[in-house]
Structure 1
């Protein structure tokens, strides 16, 4: 691993395993066939109150990953270009989960125990 594993999470995205680590702000792609790891230059922000950083593939958009960053934003990261394409302000909530369902983004907040549903249009 290019960063020491700490408090991270694993997800499946774009035919690979992805490791998200809020301590280091890391997004790491792990090739399931070779085990090779690639650290993205894009860095997520650590939540202040809780450690939860979640990520979810954007359906029908290969190479796009939704990531909960810090307390009050969700980012759409283009993992192939290693760039943040979009930032969405969400309710202040000490980290949480994120999941795209259809044209809606569901974002939970660990500090408030609430779920926010954001229409993405289109």
Structure 2
């Protein structure tokens, strides 16, 4: 499958944003009371990433990379897995029945899983961009 290289670069940046969101899950749980400004820093980084991605995408670049169906399905499954764990974390963290110790474990586990999925997706895209 032929894909514009700039689209792959934007997807790589998106996996970087996903890593940031996974780290935010862990950091917000532990540091939101002592560092309330942390949310504003994360939002600022997300906005800067969005603007940078828009600028990269609008740049006139007609280079094309060939992506195999196996790589495309791997990226698709990584995105599905990411959003499954992220929605699971949002739902379970809002349930009032869960004890604080389990909530700590839930946030650490889901934040780590989200960060690992984002790292693997970024690594996969980096290999596609570097090789092709």
Name the TM tier (shorter chain).
under 0.3
Give 1 or 2: higher helix fraction: 2
Q: Which of the pair has more CA radius of gyration?
A: 2
Under a length normalisation based on structure 1, what TM-score does the superposition of the two structures give?
A: 0.20
Give 1 or 2: higher strand fraction: 1
More RCO (CA 8 Å, sep 6+): 2
Under a length normalisation based on structure 2, what TM-score does the superposition of the two structures give?
A: 0.19
